[in-house]
Amino acid sequence: MTQPSQRQIFLNGEGDAWYERNCQSSPEQREQWQEQDPLARLLTELPLPRGSEVSVLEVGCGQGLRLLRMRQEFGWRVAGVDPSSAAVDAVASLGLKAHVATADILPLPDASVDLLIYGFCLYLCDRSDLFKIAAEAHRVLRPESWLAILDFWSPHQKVNPYHHRSGVFSYKDDLSAMFTWHPSYVITDHRLRHHVTRAHTDDPQEWVATTMLRRCDLSPSTSLG
């Protein structure tokens, strides 16, 4: 019997289990989460106007706390994607849009997104899907746009068993390399911090990176697809 892909495992229930383990259930937990969000400073510094003309998509949106904050603070038009139907229901309860989907198939039109966020999800994606994920990002991003990645980081790929389910693996690597090989993408900010405390650490096992990339096409001919 063929082992299902990690994408299918998360769509078939592990996404809901991840959401239940990580959701912030109380108002105090939600407020603390938003205060400690590693992407908060980078998002505030982006040279994007306030208002609904700015389109944002977060992949791995969870219960939608980051999306809610962006709409409230900046007035941006936000939407989320998550493999968990429970997470999507939670986002809908906030009055926001979300879809059950994964990073390799985004339910948005071409060139429709000003800011694409990967929120702690790529470390669990099948490595064989990374080409499709990068191509989908390039497809939905506008020619002048922004891409944010919050995830585990390592200069060399590391593979670890996923603690919560056998047969699933988590990966640590330099995810920005999915894009920086292409001349349209450049890193504008990159910070390494401790996974839990958010403080500086020299322990590579605890590194989490917040990385902001700019897409600025040099010519109409540049393409990932």
Ordered by start, the domain boundaries in the chain are: 6-17+48-216
What letter represents residue 120's amino acid? Answer: F
Tens-place pLDDT, residues 91-140: 999 999 999 999 999 999 999 999 999 999 999 999 999 999 999 999 99
SS3 at position 14: helix
- On the question of pLDDT at 81 being above 90, the answer is yes
Amino acid making up residue 162 = Y
What is the overall mean pLDDT for the chain?
A: 93
- This prediction has a pTM of 0.93
156: Cβ–Cβ under 8 A, 6 or more apart, which residues?
A: 173
By the 8 A CB rule, do 34 and 40 touch? yes
Class of domain 6-17+48-216: alpha beta
Judged on CB neighbours under 10 Å (0-12, 13-18, 19+), 181 is exposed
Query: Would you place residue 222 in the very low, low, confident or very high pLDDT band (cuts 50, 70, 90)?
Result: very low
Residue partners of 197: CB distance under 8 A and separation at least 6: none
Query: Which CA distances in Å does 29 have to 23, 34, 108?
Result: 9, 9, 31
- Burial zone of 58 (CB within 10 Å; 0-12 exposed, 13-18 middle, 19+ buried): buried
Instruction: Decide if pLDDT at 197 tops 80.
Output: yes
Give the helix ranges, DSSP H, for the chain.
6-9, 15-22, 27-36, 40-45, 65-74, 85-93, 130-140, 177-180
| 139-158 core/surface letters (b: 16 or more CB in 10 A; e: else) | bbbbeebbbbbbbbbeeeee
pLDDT at 161 over 90: yes
User: Between the CA of residue 122 and those of 35, 60, 73, 175, what are the distances in Å?
Assistant: 23, 9, 26, 8
User: Residue 19 burial by CB count (10 A; 0-12/13-18/19+): exposed, middle or buried?
Assistant: buried
